[in-house]
Amino acid sequence: MKEIHVGFLGCGNIGCGVWNLLRDAEERFEQTHGVRFAVRKILVRDVKKERAAQIPREVLTTEAGEVLHDPDIGLVVEFMGGEEPAAHYMMEALRQGKSVVTANKMALSLHWEELMREAKNHHAAIYYEASVCGAIPIISTLNDSLQANRIERMYGIVNGTTNYILSSMSQSGVSYADALKEAQRLGFAEPDPTSDVEGYDAAYKLSILASLAFRCHIPVGSVYREGITRVEASDIAFGQEMGYTLKLLALAKQSAEGIQVRVHPTFIPRLHPLASVSGSFNSVFLSGDACDDMMLYGRGAGSAPTSSAVVSDMLAAARFDSPVYPAVDADRANTAILDNWESAFYIRLSAADRPGVLAHVAACLGERGVSIRYMVQRSETPSARVPIVLITHKAMEKDVRAALDAIAPENALVDNVIRVEE
C-alpha cells in the first residue's frame, strides 16, 4: 500500500468537497489503485470556522510553513484561488520538491513559465485538470490522448456564468441585467461578476488550453478579450431570426500565419454542436488533423465536479514516480499571435431615418472590402433613428473596424458588433 502525505492550502467549498470525497472513496482507492491519502495539514485563515467537512482540529493550521516545509508532505493541493499568495505558495512547494495539484486558472495562467520552471528544476510535478472546465477531462485529453494530432482550432464555452446568462436571455428574452440578477440569486454568478462577464476568467482558461493545444506558451496578455455586458436582448433576437445562437466563446486557431486567441461574444449557427450547450454547462469543440472534430461536454464548475477533477489529479500524482511535463516547445516561443483575423460580423446600427443613409453605410464598408450578406431594418415606431442589423461576409477584423470608424455619426451610430463563426 502506497501512502501519500498531503497538505491543503485553503479549505473552502472545494477543499471540503475533496476532503469528503477522499474519505468516501478511501477503501475504493486502496483496492483499485493501491494508494491511501493522508491529509496531514490544512492551511486556513480561521481554525474555528464552521466547514462542510468534519476535519479534526489538529489538522488545521494558520501557518503556511506547516504545509510547505513539512518534509513528510509530498503533495500539496491548492484551494486558495486568486493570484496571490497562491502562486507564491505553489512555487515554494515546488522548490521543496513537493508536487502540486491546483484548480487555480488565474495563478496558473499568469505564472505559467515560473511554475513550470520551478517544477522541472526541483523534479516535482504540477497537475491542473480542474483549472479548466471542472470535471471535463480537457487537460488530460490535450496532454495525452491527442498528442498525435496537430490541433487546428478550438472553440470553448468555458465559463458557466456567462453561458447561463446568455442562455436565459435566449430562452426567455430577458435583459442582461435581469439575467445577471437571477444568476446571482441562484449562485451561478458572484456578487462582483466582473471576472466572468468581462471575459477575464475565460481568457485565463484559454491561455492554458491554447498553450497545450499549440505546444507553445500563450500568455494571457496575448488573448483578445471582450465581455458580454454590451449584449442586448435585441441582439440575441436578431441573431435567432437569422439562424444563430449567441455564446461567449474562447477561440483558438493556428495557421501558417500564426495563432489567434480570443474571447468574445460569438454568433454560431443554430445547428452547431456548441449551440445546444445551455445553462451553466461547459464544452470544448476542437478539430485536429488526425482526430477531426471532437467535443467534450459536462459540468464546468461547482464543488462536486471540481473536486472530482482535483482527486483525479491526486491519483495521477500517486501513480507516476517521475514527473510528466506538458509538451510545450520553448523553440516556438516567438510564434506570431495574430491581431487581425477573418470572420463574418454582426453589426447593429441606429440609423437616421432618411434617404441615402444605407448607401453611405454600404459605401464605407465596400471601400474597405467588407460586403453585406444579410440585412434587417426595423421601423415599427416613429423615431429619428431606426435599428439596422447587418451580417457581413467574411472580412478582416481591422478592415471592419476601419469601415465602422468611417461611418458619419449623423448618419448612423454603431450600437454593437459581434463576430460570427460558422
Residues 319-333 as b or e (16 or more Cβ within 10 Å = b): eeeeeeebebeeeee
What gap in Å lies between CA 321 and CA 193, rounded to an integer? 41
The residue among 310, 404, 401, 284 whose CA lies nearest residue 351 is: 404
371: DSSP letter: -
What gap in Å lies between CA 207 and CA 102, rounded to an integer? 16
| Residue from 41, 105, 205, 247 carrying the catalytic annotation | 205
Please give the angle made by the CA atoms of 95, 205 and 109, to the nearest 5 degrees.
30
- The DSSP bridge pattern shows strands 342-352 and 385-392 to be antiparallel
- The DSSP bridge pattern shows strands 224-225 and 258-269 to be parallel
Residue 103 has which C-alpha cell? 484548480
Given a contact cutoff of 8 angstroms between Cβ atoms, the answer to whether 200 and 206 are in contact is: no
Cross-strand bridge partners of residue 155: 251, 285
Residue 7 has which C-alpha cell? 497538505
What gap in Å lies between CA 108 and CA 320, rounded to an integer? 21
Three-state SS at 223: coil
398 as an active site residue: the answer is no
Question: Residue 29: in which H helix or E strand, if any?
Answer: helix 26-32
Distance of CA 39 to the CA centre of its chain: 30
What gap in Å lies between CA 349 and CA 37, rounded to an integer? 60
Question: Active-site residue numbers?
Answer: 205
